[in-house]
Structure formats: structure tokens, C-alpha cells
Amino acid sequence: LIFIIEGEMGVGKTVFVKGIGEQLGIKNIISPTYVIYYEYKNFYHFDLCNIENNDEFKHLGLEKFLIPENILCFEWGEKAGEIIELLKSRGEIVYVRMKYVNEGEREIIVKD
């Protein structure tokens, strides 16, 4: 299962991913902004915020993560570009779009 999560800075993308992780029994999930991804047991949390171009995806070796028992979450999914087709061919994708409504409220749109 692959989550592509989009939304502006500070809207709660990492909080959303932490919620998924917690449901899987994973604690202490942190944002991988400066390392691109963190690996947990069958759960991979990617932050594409600092990806500049599609060539950078080649260095991640995404194929090794794309196996049925894994769950992948991509923050800043709007930067996924060309890898979306690879992801679609290897797993079910859930798109999550988060929008800031006000300080205590977000709109979350989920589609597959």
C-alpha cells in the first residue's frame, strides 16, 4: 500500500504519517526531511521536500521497497513526478491531499 500525501508546509503531513505508523504499532516516527526517508518494520516514510529532480529518485532504489507487505508513505507527493508510474505498477496507491482551513482545522481529501 502506497500513500502519496500532498499539502503545504505545516499542514500536518508528518502528523498524518505518524498516525498510520501508530496504527501499525510503530512509535517515535520523525520527519525524514534531511535524510529523505526513514525505515521501520515494513513501513517506509519518505519526505520528498528536498528532491530537486527525478534523477535523485534513482539513488533511492525504490524497487527494493515495493513489495506487497510494505507500506510506503511519501510526503510532498506532488514532487513524485515520474516515479508515480512505477509506484502504480507495483502497488495500490492512496492519494491524500491536505489543506489548511484554520489553526485547528484541516481538510483531508482521500482518493485511490
Q: Please give the domain boundaries of the chain with CATH numbers for all domains.
A: 2-78+100-111 (3.40.50.300)
Interatomic CA distance for residues 40 and 26, integer angstroms: 8
Query: What would the grid cell of residue 35 be?
Result: 535524510
- Three-class DSSP category at 34: coil
| pTM (global) more than 0.85 | yes
What does the pLDDT read at residue 92? 92
Reported as a pLDDT band with limits 50, 70 and 90, residue 22 is very high
| The pLDDT of residue 16 | 95
Q: In sequence order, which residues have a C-beta less than 8 Å from that of residue 1 and are 6 or more positions away? A: 71, 72, 91, 92, 94
Helix (H, G, I), strand (E, B) or coil at 85: helix
Residue 53 has pLDDT above 80, yes or no: no
48 has pLDDT over 80 = yes
Task: Give the residue-averaged pLDDT of 33-60.
Answer: 84
What is the per-residue pLDDT for 58? 75
Region of residue 69 (left: phi > 0; alpha: psi -120 to 50; beta: else)? alpha
β pairing state of 105-111 and 93-102: antiparallel
pLDDT, tens digit (0-9, with 9 covering 90-100), for 76-111: 988 888 788 888 888 899 999 999 999 889 999 999
Distance CA 59, CA 64 (A): 12
pLDDT at 30: 84
